[in-house]
């Protein structure tokens, strides 16, 4: 997994040292539900999730350089075999409540987009937000994603289904090479 450095952040492989930071932001009831998961109730549950992140090659920890603290996660994953063949990945991210409205999500999303297109040579990135998540909508639009459709099949927070607005972004560097 490639480490990605920005002005204020390091996107890196998660480690067990991130456990307390993960639990701190993941237990907040404002964070998980807008991303599709329930707040963590115990540190043991956070450890289970963190171990899944560590085993994955799709999830990066978002570390705030100044504090040497994990403040969120960002992921690039392939949804299915067809998307893998077509070079399409889905982007997801979560930032701890104490770090909202500081530009960290936008900074990490922008860095991940550049990495996906330039280094991984991905053809397209898709992402989405629940219909009521205006913060994510702003980040998605700021990063030039274009709305494609409403997905009303995604299951969030265990049994509830929420409408998700979906967006996509084509690799702009591929077009440059075609000229």
Give per-residue pLDDT as tens, 71-120.
999 999 998 898 889 999 999 999 999 999 999 999 999 999 999 999 99
For the CA atoms of 109, 67, 39, 6, the dihedral, rounded to the nearest 10 degrees, stands at 10
Helices (H) and strands (E) in the chain, counts: 7, 10
Phi, psi of 69 (to 5 degrees): -135, 135
Q: How far is CA 159 from the centre of its chain?
A: 22
Q: Is the dihedral of CA 91, 112, 114, 174 positive or negative?
A: negative
Per-residue pLDDT of the chain (179 residues; tens, 9 = 90+): 799 999 999 999 999 999 999 999 999 999 988 787 889 999 999 999 999 999 999 999 999 999 999 999 999 999 889 888 999 999 999 999 999 999 999 999 999 999 999 999 999 999 999 888 899 999 999 999 999 999 877 655 555 667 889 999 999 887 654 44
pTM: 0.90
Distance CA 133, CA 129 (A): 6
Distance CA 111, CA 82 (A): 25
């Amino acid at each position: 997994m490639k480490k990605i450095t920005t002005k204020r952040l390091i996107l890196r492989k998660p480690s067990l040292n991130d456990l307390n930071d993960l639990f701190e932001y993941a237990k907040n009831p404002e964070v998980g539900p807008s991303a599709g998961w329930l707040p963590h109730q115990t540190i043991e549950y956070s450890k289970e999730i963190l171990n899944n992140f560590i085993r994955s090659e799709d999830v990066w920890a978002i570390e705030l350089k100044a504090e040497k603290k994990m403040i969120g996660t960002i992921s690039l994953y392939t949804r299915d075999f067809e998307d893998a063949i077509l070079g399409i990945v889905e982007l997801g991210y979560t930032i701890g409540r104490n770090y909202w409205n500081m530009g960290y999500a936008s900074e990490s999303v922008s860095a991940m987009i550049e990495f996906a297109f330039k280094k991984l040579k991905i053809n397209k990135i898709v992402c989405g937000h629940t219909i009521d998540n205006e913060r994510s909508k702003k980040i998605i639009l700021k990063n030039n994603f274009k709305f494609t459709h409403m997905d009303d099949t995604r299951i969030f927070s265990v049994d509830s289904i929420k409408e998700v607005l979906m967006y996509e972004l084509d690799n702009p560097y591929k077009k440059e090479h075609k000229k």
